[in-house]
Structure 1
Amino acid sequence: MAWSYNKPEFRENLRKIELFDNAVYADLMRTKPKTWCRAFYKLGPYCEDVENNSVESFNNSIGKARDKALVSMLETIAKLAMVRIAKRSAKAINHQGICTPYVSKYLAELLEDASKCIVQPSTNMQYYLRLHGCAYRVDLTARTCSCRRWQITGIPCEHAYGVMIKKGIEAQHYVCHWFRTEMWRDTYTDGVIPVRGARFWPVGEEPSIVQPVVPDMPGRNKASQGESSSQPECSQQVLTQLGE
């Protein structure tokens, strides 16, 4: 249901859950699904994510760094980010194509359904299309489809892709600018500047922080403990002699 791109699809999937189990349906409605379903996303950000996997991935990558002291932790995280950005920058520079590899993979997954679309033209670059028994309206000028997937993702949906295949149009020319190779390269142009060692850091007027002396821990040392442990044996010998 979270993946529903439009309200009719949302209602259909919601109804399926209600028929499956009323208790599950009631629990689901308490979570306010309109706040996390694609059908109610605002148009413009061009992001269809319904989870925080990217955040979890980065959080996992800094797991070992969090066990360190504050300065060491920040240095380690900065180095991890620096190397990651540098690798992605090199990958973006070497990539040849209109859009990023993500777009190519995305469209490849839609190709089978797009090839099955029945397309009929209208005026003003609008098209009537049928797929799996349902009709859709595609507008190439406005870059919209009645399924709303194109508007949400910024990448042509299977219906718009079907029109483009029918007309012999390159689909990547209709992809949002955020997924273009040029934008990908610009994103990783400026990375994290390497930090110099501690000897190069500016020195303020405050006194330097030095490692404190480890104090003697309270309690007897091992030698004293050894002496005390022999006392019960001596006392037992004296009592034995007295008894004799």
Structure 2
Amino acid sequence: MKATVQEEMFADASIGKLKRAKQLVMKATLDATKGQYQKLYSYQLELLRSNPGSTVVLNRVVGMDPPVFKRIYICLGALKKGFLAGCRKVIGLDGCFFKGATNGELICALGRDANNQMYPIAWAVVHKENNEEWDWFMDILSIDLHVGDGEGWVFISDQQKGILNAVQKWAPMAEHRNCARHIYANWKKHFHDKEYQKKFWRCAKAPCTMLFNLARAQLALVTHAGAQAIMNTHPQHWSRAWFKVGSNCDSVDNNLCESFNKWILEARFFLIITMLETIRRKVMVRIKDQITNSNRWNTIICPGILKKLNVYIAESAFCHAISNGAEAYEVKHHEHRFTAQLDKKECSCRYWQLSGLPCPHAIACIFYKTSQLDGYIADCYSVETFKKIYAHCLQPLEGMSSWPEDGRQPLNAPGYIKMPGRPKTERRREAHEPAKATRASKIGTIIRCRKCKQVGHNRSTCDKHNGEGSTTSMPQQVPNPDQHIVLSNTPQSSTQSRKRKSAASATISAASAKDKNS
């Protein structure tokens, strides 16, 4: 701040004046935050007025007077209609922290469009990501999307207990997948050899139990304990081999939610209404951009899906199919054999049934019969479906001064929730991760005890002194000539010098008194 003021205002401000200026800025920021909380009821009415069919739920803390904000849920009508118009019944759930003056966390629900891109459905501001808040969020979301008992639905999340309990309560028949990237991050803490990484992901992406067992056996050859540890979380939650068919989604991770959190990173610095409005406007612009992009496509299948399909077409060159004279085929792929039924759109590797896209084995059989793949791809990946999803656009809002007035007592800002321990400014690094590059390394430095002057420990772990503070003379430790020691050139402080002089003077005085007595 001092340098900025000097460069921009040509003034040499004192440190005390800069601190007072900073306090004024922080106070103005917090006051603006409190002012936006008082406009939340009007913001709720404006959303419901401008976007019919939307769901906006705003709760206050029970039993507090004056009323205090607790949480808000937003699911705009156009997003609800667009999801039900063409998106698969696959929802990703995740949460993220705010970066600025707003207290709490943002939790969201995301779908997948026909091009396998994120489609925001609903988001909510809560005070903390716990069982109560996820239970409340899933209750409203399941009603908005007509989830029912969850039959045929897929939910993807990390291993957050609040999400697990909420999905089990409100969609008990749904398939709940855990992000394999989080599973791998926990597993990697104990098995961090780079050689293990690809073998783990072969287990996660194996589409059938035969390929899963084979991949796990290959992992056991290099780490038997690691092959046993991956079964601590049942593979039905993170491996394709146990996923249910019919969802047309083979994803084993929750990367779309991570992408959404990064996409709204700038909005997470703002005040609560500014943040919610920034997210809404970004979604509105995104829908417009997707409509523009789709009008330029001249294919039947979305380009992102075609790019993925081209990889399978190249791999089908290594598949050799023979026909039984009907719609059944036997395919040899390297050292494995699979069977495919074109009329049923099934392959014994299960990937076709999982994703809705022909696997390399099925493509080899299709090319044996015809050169057209379009009829064997699920309709959820078509450009027509993509346009149906984005045919529903968000409606613009008026300015804050034009919002309808609400008769309810305005809400106040919630209090700051202090987490235990000192506030963290950086993310926690894993044990195997290297240290931050900008931090000086302590490797090679010598720790010297301030009590006994020995090296290798400090005064808190020194065992050469008793509890009363008396010392015993210790021989000076001779350093090992084979050990590389970095000696410090720092001169002794003046305080230490004065202490040594005082001790020497006391010794001389005692010796003089002894001579006089004798």
C-alpha distance after superposition, 1:10-29 (max 9, x if no partner) = 00111122221123223222
* Corresponding residue for residue 83 of structure 1: 285
CA distance 1:205–1:157, change in 2 (3 Å): same
Aligned to 2:233: 31
Distance 1:208 1:27, change over 3 A: closer
Structure 1 residue 166 corresponds to structure 2 residue 368: yes
Map of 1:150 onto structure 2: 352
Q: Structure 1 residue 136: deviation in Å? A: 1.4
The worse-fitting range, judged by mean Cα deviation, of 115-124 and 194-203 is: 115-124
Question: Is contact 2:235–2:242 with CA below 8 Å preserved after alignment?
Answer: no
* Residue 3 (1) aligns with residue 205 (2): yes
In structure 1, the partner of 2:259 is: 57
Amino acid of the residue matched to residue 158 of structure 1? P
Residues 70-110 of structure 1: CA distance to partner in whole angstroms, max 9, x if unpaired?
11111000011111121112112221111111221122111
Q: Which residue of 2 aligns with 1:229?
A: none
Residue 110 (structure 1) aligned with residue 296 (structure 2): no
Where does residue 67 of structure 1 map in the other structure? 269
Change in 2 beyond 3 A, CA 1:72/1:8 = same
Contact 2:346 2:352 in 1 (8 A): yes
The match for 2:5 is none
- Tell me how far apart the structure 1 counterparts of residues 283 and 343 of structure 2 sit (CA, whole Å): 40
The residue correspondences of 1:1-244 to structure 2 (distance < 5 A) are 1-206=203-408
Partner amino acid for 1:51? D
The structural deviation recorded for 1:168 is 2.4
**What letter matches 1:171 in structure 2?**
L
Instruction: Indicate the structure whose relative CO is greater, using CA pairs within 8 Å and at least 6 residues apart.
Output: 1
In structure 2, relative to structure 1, the CA distance for the partners of 1:64 and 1:133 (3 Å cut) is same
Instruction: Give the SS at the match of 1:29.
Output: coil
What secondary structure sits across from 1:94 in the alignment? coil
For structure 2, the 5+ residue unaligned runs are 1-202, 412-518
Name which of structure 1's ranges 193-202 and 177-186 shifts more when overlaid on structure 2. Answer: 193-202
Displacement after TM superposition at 1:206 (Å): 4.8
| Cα contact 1:115–1:165 (8 A) shared by 2 | no
> Which is worse superposed, 164-173 or 63-72?
164-173
Residue deviations 1:170-216, cap 9 Å, x none?
A: 1122100100111011111112222221122111235789xxxxxxx
How far off is 1:53 after superposition?
0.8
**Aligned counterparts of 2:282 and 2:375: Cα–Cα separation in 1:** 35
Paired amino acid for 1:55: C
Determine if contact 1:149/1:157 at 8 Å carries over to the other structure: yes
Between 1:29-38 and 1:175-184, the stretch displaced more is 29-38
Any conservation in 2 of the 1:5–1:38 contact (CA below 8 Å)? Answer: yes
CA distance in 2, matches of 1:148, 1:208: 56
Contact 1:98 1:173 in 2 (8 A): no
Q: Which moved more, 1:183-192 or 1:13-22?
A: 13-22
Determine the C-alpha separation between the residues in 2 that align with 1:3 and 1:38.
Answer: 6
Question: Could you list the runs of 4 or more consecutive aligned residues of structure 1 that deviate by over 4 angstroms after TM superposition?
Answer: 206-209
What's the % identity of the aligned pairs? 28
Distance in 1, matches of 2:385 and 2:364, equals 26
Could you say which structure has the higher strand fraction?
2
- The RMSD of aligned alpha carbons is 1.9
Q: Give the TM-score, by structure 2 length.
A: 0.39
Tell me the amino acid that sits aligned with residue 69 of structure 1.
L
Give the aligned partner of residue 233 of structure 1: none
Between 3-12 and 88-97, report the one with greater CA deviation.
88-97
Code of the residue aligned with 2:235 in structure 1: it is P
Q: Kindly indicate which of the two structures has a greater share of residues assigned to helix.
A: 1
- Compute the TM-score of the two structures, normalised by the length of structure 1: 0.80
Q: Hey, what's the Cα distance between the residues in 1 that align with 2:238 and 2:292?
A: 35
- C-alpha distance in structure 1 between counterparts of 2:369 and 2:326, whole Å: 14
- Work out the number of aligned pairs and report it: 210
How far apart are the structure 2 equivalents of 1:202 and 1:155? 49
Contact 2:321/2:364, CA 8 A, preserved across alignment: yes
